[in-house]
Homo-oligomer: A and B are copies of this chain.
Amino acid sequence: KLYGYTGHTLAKMLVTVLTGIITGLFAVALTKTVGAITEWKLDVLAKTYEKDAPARTFVSFLLFWLIGSCLVTLATAIVQYWAPASAGGGVTLVMAYLNGNHVPNLLRFSTLISKFVGTVCAVSSGLPMGPEGPMVHIGACVASVITYMECKCLDGGIFNIFTNCFGRRKEFNIKEKLKILDEIVSDSDHREFVSAGVSAGISAAFGAPVGGVLFSMEEACSFWSRKTAWRCFIAATLSTFTIQLLNRSAQHGMIAFSNLNPMENKDWLLQLPFLIVNAGMAGLLGAAFNSLRMWLWKVRAVKSRHLLRILEVIGLVFLTSLVGHFFGWAAGQCKPFPDDWLNEGYGIRFNCEEGHYNDIATLFLSSQHHTIIKLFSVGHDDEISDVTKFVPAFSVGGLALFTTIYLGLFSIGAGLAIPGGLFMPSILLGASWGCFWGIVLRLWLPKWNIMPGLYAILGGTSMLAGVFRSAISLVVLVVEGTRGIDYLFGVILSVMMSNWVAHHIHHDGVYESELERIGNVYMLRDEPPHRLFTLTAEAIMATGVYGFRTIEPLSRILQVMRTTTHNGFPVFADEDSEEGGVSEAPSSQALVNFGTSSSNADVNGAASKVDPLSGRLEGLILRSQLLVLLQRRHFCDASGRPIGRDYSEQQELELETEMRTFFRHYFTHARYVSATAQPLDELKLDGVHAGSTTLDLSSLYIDLRPYMNRSPLTIRKDCSAARAHQVFINLGLRHLLVVDAHNHVVGMITRKDLDHAAGHGWWRISHMAEPPRNK
């Protein structure tokens, strides 16, 4: 201890700091790699135009497709064959994890690597995908890998590669160190670190530390506290600072633009109708994207068909290339290069003469990041005074065409088996609409102080709001990312307007829709769905709860554990209960009654039927605790006297530690395994050896009293289901027991039950959820 700081605090701080810095490094690596590959690709394409061959457009088309195909084949193959959890943006699943779901393999090292490589390939191949969503997932993975790595390497476990790096640390006082680390990776700590990773990821992607924290709070996290906030804040600041140190162009935000022309209040008021139309239309686009995307899910390839999934991605590259080249050739206008474009290597010459570029081909085929910046700065470069000479860098028709077609490509792209986020394409789509609208206005009202670039920024923002339905975090992200604090009002107006419009077209944001589609993830919202307000807890609870008496025969425990997949079991007062101190004496006649509620117990297989036990609630015991007790052969006889083991305080402490850290040690990335019969088989309880004597299995009991949770939270069966939802969510429960007035258990509410009850209510309007599966 040092000034109130223990090893815990320091270890946690170290994890937070490392998460921030390493996420920042990943972001830098991502940006640089994508930049290099894209530049190389465009160089290759540029060379084909120099030749005067008649089929140069066709050659360019083939080249674009070929290069793209190689890249995406690599990415999709990795995803399909190695790390399926890394497909898509990943934000949704991270949200589900932070909500309390166990998502298999989501935060493993392999997922991290696959996500990184896949994102590089996807973004640089020219698909309508961005690196922002994957950065969130990468941040979360980094946080998770760091926490588990440290422990594993000190345990000398799987991650032996890392053990060498930390070799020196291993010598000094490893036992002590281990104990500290044992404690820091509780579920809630881990969630905090993952939240910090999310903040670090998003802030690295946008160069916006405060926005990153707010994104984490508003969108990603279901549980938030002051401590989490500080952790996110530190990680986000460090990751942004890392990226700014290593990548000079990022110093003023990732999509910064210069030449700010501040607008007067008068102008804001005058242009208010135009701005509202701008935001409203972008909101419509966002909602249209969401709807289109949901509809396209019906025709996509099934997850398990590996080759089909790969072909799907290659098909999209083909489509992108085809569309870009065809419209560039058919409708593209040749314009002379502005001064700064050539230096920056932006603009695609295509079929134009030397010193000119084809605007449609440029929009479709060049790097999205660059295109966004160029759209944002349309109309900023020239002086406001020479209104007549305005020549936009992109033609009005070109922008309209691009907006329409890109919406389609984007909708197809979102959901393929390749890592890639929705932020960047959303911004690009919104910006191209805004720019179109701004240029139209500018040409129509040349005397007004209309900046198409501003409309592009606000269009991009509105599109994001329409797609994601976030509010404050989005405002801060955009303001920080563009450094356009003078346009704060426009940004706020756009976000509100677009949210409002989009909400009336498509009810949910993209994350909610996706969660709904996944189906086997139980995402619980902060506020109870409307449907629950008219139900009671009794109506939504699961019956067929299996319970134990305080001292239960081993045989029954084993049978229940084998035939059910429940993770929590209520413990009931025993007939010959030794619970003293209860002043009210009788009322023990009715304590145990068998078989009242075995109606829909989901018993697996053909195993023999066990009667669910019911009675007055005494406590709750978890499957993991039972597994530890079994593994330690912690048996007793019918009256609770220990058999075949000595009691020592040290042993008891170790037992409790093992119970606390059970999942971390045995089932970190595969918790669902613990509910199967497999761990029971591994225990080899058939010939039980305790010390030197062989014990008879049928005469053994387990005393649950010292280990059960003696005061589980309960609700009455006539309580409102909405209240049950509130209790469940606000206290972060996993099992909520439903009791009657006599404190007898009548059912249990779990995450699954709440999700089912909300079924077709609030956020499942589209009826598309698959039936839940137990993996």
Given A711-B723, A741-B743, residue A209 in contact with residue B590 (CB < 8 A): no
B residues near A496, Cβ cutoff 8 Å: 233-234, 237
Chain B contacts for A213, CB-based, 8 A: 472
Q: Is A471 an interface residue (CB 8 A)?
A: yes
Stretch binding the partner chain, chosen from A223-231, A516-524, A623-631: A223-231
Q: Is the beta-carbon distance between B723 and A715 smaller than 8 angstroms? A: no
Q: How far is the CA of A719 from the CA of B213 in the complex (A)?
A: 34
- Measured in the bound complex, the distance between the Cα atoms of B218 and A214 in whole Å is 12
Interchain nearest-CB distance for A621 vs B (Å): 15
Within 8 A of B (CB), among A487-536: 488-489, 492-493, 496, 504, 526-527
User: In the assembled complex, which residues on chain B have CB atoms less than 8 Å from the CB atom of A583?
Assistant: 593, 596
What residues of chain B lie closer than 8 Å to A589, measured between beta carbons? 586-587
Chain A, range 738-768, C-beta contacts under 8 Å to B: 739-744
Query: With A209-B492, A488-B209, A488-B480 known to touch, is A727 a contact of B744 (CB < 8 Å)?
Result: no
In the complex, A584 has a CB within 8 A of chain B: yes
Residues of B within 8 A of A526 (CB): 225-226
Say if the beta carbon of A699 comes within 8 Å of chain B.
no
Q: How far is the CB of A580 from chain B (nearest CB, A)?
A: 12
Q: Is A617 an interface residue (CB 8 A)?
A: yes
- Complex: A192 Cα to B618 Cα, angstroms: 40
Question: Which residues from chain B contact A210 at a C-beta distance below 8 Å?
Answer: 472, 475-476, 479, 488, 492
Q: Is the C-beta of A609 less than 8 angstroms from some C-beta in chain B? A: no
A486 is an interface residue with CB less than 8 A from chain B: yes
Residues of B within 8 A of A488 (CB): 209-210, 480
A404 to B460, CA, bound (A): 50
- A residues 422-479 with Cβ under 8 Å of B? 471-472, 475-476, 479
Chain B residues near A245 (CB-CB < 8 A):
265
Per the bound structure, the CA–CA distance linking A727 and B741 in Å amounts to 20
Cross-chain contact A229 with B472 (CB below 8 angstroms): yes
| Chain B residues with CB under 8 A of A262 | 252
Binary B-proximity of A713-741 (CB < 8 A = 1, otherwise 0):
11111111001001100110000000111
CB contacts (< 8 Å) of A483 on chain B: these are 485-486
A165 within 8 A of B: no
Copies of this protein in the assembly total: 2
Expressed in whole angstroms, the Cα–Cα distance for A286 and B36 within the complex equals 49
Closest Cβ–Cβ distance, residue A737 to chain B (whole Å): 11
- A741-B579 contact in complex given A587-B590, A713-B727, C-beta closer than 8 Å: yes
Please determine whether A587 and B742 come into contact, CB atoms closer than 8 angstroms: yes
The yes or no answer to A582 lying at the interface (CB within 8 A) is: yes
**Cβ contact within 8 Å between A741 and B617:** yes
A616 interface residue per 8 A CB criterion:
yes
Query: What residue in chain B is nearest A500 (Cβ atoms)?
Result: B230
Q: Which residues of B contact A710 (CB under 8 A)?
A: 716, 718-719
> Residues of B contacting A251 with CB < 8 Å?
264-265
Within 8 Å of chain B (Cβ to Cβ): is A241?
Answer: yes
Q: Considering the complex, which residues of chain A in the window 215-247 have a beta carbon less than 8 Å from any beta carbon of chain B?
A: 218, 225-227, 229-230, 233-234, 237, 240-241, 244-245
0/1 per residue, A612-648, Cβ < 8 Å to B? 0000111000000000000000000000000000000
Q: How far is the CB of A361 from chain B (nearest CB, A)?
A: 35
Tell me, in angstroms, the Cα distance from A241 to B272 when the chains sit together: 13
Interface centre among A210, A586, A744 (most CB of B within 10 A): A210
Is residue A172 within 8 Å, beta carbon to beta carbon, of the partner chain? no
A341 within 8 A of B: no
Additional A-B contacts beyond A225-B527, A726-B731 (7; CB < 8 A): A251-B264, A483-B485, A711-B718, A713-B715, A727-B731, A730-B730, A742-B742
Sample of 24 A–B contacts (CB below 8 Å) = A209-B492, A210-B472, A210-B476, A213-B472, A229-B471, A233-B471, A233-B472, A234-B496, A237-B493, A237-B496, A251-B265, A479-B485, A584-B593, A584-B744, A586-B586, A587-B742, A616-B741, A710-B716, A711-B719, A714-B714, A727-B727, A730-B730, A741-B743, A742-B743
